Each structure stands twice: as C-alpha cells, then as structure tokens.
C-alpha cells in the first residue's frame, strides 16, 4: 500500500507522500476501506476526485508541504533507521503522523500489524489533512464510528461519525 502511495506521489510530481496519496492507495488495495467510505456512488465520486488530483484538482498542493499540525505526536517506529515516521524523508508531516497514529491504534488493540482501517481512522482523525479535504469535497462527511476506533467491524454498521 505504501509503495502505491509513493508511486502516485512521484507520478503526480509531488515531493512527499501526503495523506491523499495514502487514502488513494488504501481505496485501491483494501476492500474494508472501500466499504467504510460508502456505496458505489460515493466511492466513484471519491476516486474521481483523487484521480483529478494530477490533472488540476491538486495542483495547488504541488510545491507545498502538508502539515495541519492537528495530530498529536505519537511515537512509533514506521521506517527502519528513523527515530519515528516524521524523520523519514519523502513523507509530509501529516502523513507521517497518520502512519504513527495507525501504528499506535494497532498496538493498543494488541495487534502486530496495522490494518487499512487503522490507517483510514488515522487519516480522518486530522480534520486539516488533505485526505479529509478530498473526502469532504466528494461529499463523504460521515464514516462508520468503527473507523475512528480503528477496528475491523466497520462493514458491520456500527454507526456513523462526522468528519
């Protein structure tokens, strides 16, 4: 999933992987994440916005660093040799913080691996992230509350939460 986000960033001409790249890669690779964002109309609209990024929608993001500063610092090693993800070259501060948050969510559940739902929860926890901006522009203002808990029961309909 990270390799897909990296390829997308390079293809888009971006210096860093940001939260929108991560969201796009999650949607491509994780059926539980696709289910969490809604049915086919919402998913199609969301993917449309993400695809448009490289042809105009996201051009205002090029050359800028995504850092909303909204996420608390969570210490977790996500990149070999780095103190934590924020030290990793090629990541926006918001994307690095989301990766750290996803690792923390998995750790708190006692799981050794991060799930797509963990990362989706982390991406949507930062209201100033590019991922949240894309979700809102696509008309997706609610996600399952299970997403914010970082659990895997989001497809079972545990309720909704506003972004």
CA distance 44 to 123: 19
CA distance 20 to 67: 12
**pLDDT by residue (tens digit) across 75-120?**
333 444 444 444 444 899 999 999 999 999 999 989 999 999 999 9
**pLDDT by residue (tens digit) across 6-47?**
888 888 777 789 999 999 999 999 999 998 888 899 899 999
| 84 and 59 Cβ atoms separated by less than 8 Å | no
Domain ranges of the chain: 2-162
Report the run of H or E that residue 11 belongs to, with start and end.
helix 2-12
Q: Residue 67: what pLDDT?
A: 55
| 139 and 158 Cβ atoms separated by less than 8 Å | no
pTM summary value: 0.74
DSSP labels, 98-145: HHHHHHHHHHHTT-SS--HHHHHHHHHH-TTSHHHHHHHHTT--EEEH
Q: Residue 13: what pLDDT?
A: 76
Q: Residue 77: what pLDDT?
A: 34
When pLDDT is averaged across residues 56-62 and rounded to a whole number, the result is 53
Q: Which fold has domain 2-162?
A: Double Clp-N motif (1.10.1780)
| DSSP SS3 for 56 | coil
When pLDDT is averaged across residues 150-157 and rounded to a whole number, the result is 44
| 150 and 100 Cβ atoms separated by less than 8 Å | no
| 31 and 117 Cβ atoms separated by less than 8 Å | no
């Amino acid at each position: 999933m990270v390799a897909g986000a990296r390829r997308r960033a390079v293809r888009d001409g971006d210096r860093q992987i940001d939260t929108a790249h991560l969201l796009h890669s999650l949607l491509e690779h994780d059926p539980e994440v696709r289910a969490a964002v809604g049915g086919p109309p919402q998913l199609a609209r969301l993917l449309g916005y993400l695809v448009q990024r490289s042809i105009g929608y996201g051009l205002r993001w090029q050359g800028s660093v995504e850092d909303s500063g909204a996420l608390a610092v969570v210490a977790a090693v996500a990149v070999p040799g780095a103190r934590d993800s924020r030290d990793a070259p090629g990541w926006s501060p918001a994307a690095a913080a989301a990766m750290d948050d996803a690792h923390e969510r998995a750790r708190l559940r006692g799981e050794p691996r991060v799930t797509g739902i963990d990362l989706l929860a982390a991406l949507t926890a930062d209201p100033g992230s590019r991922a949240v901006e894309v979700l809102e522009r696509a008309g997706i203002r609610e996600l399952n509350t299970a997403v914010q808990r970082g659990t895997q029961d989001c497809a079972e309909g545990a309720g909704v939460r506003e972004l």
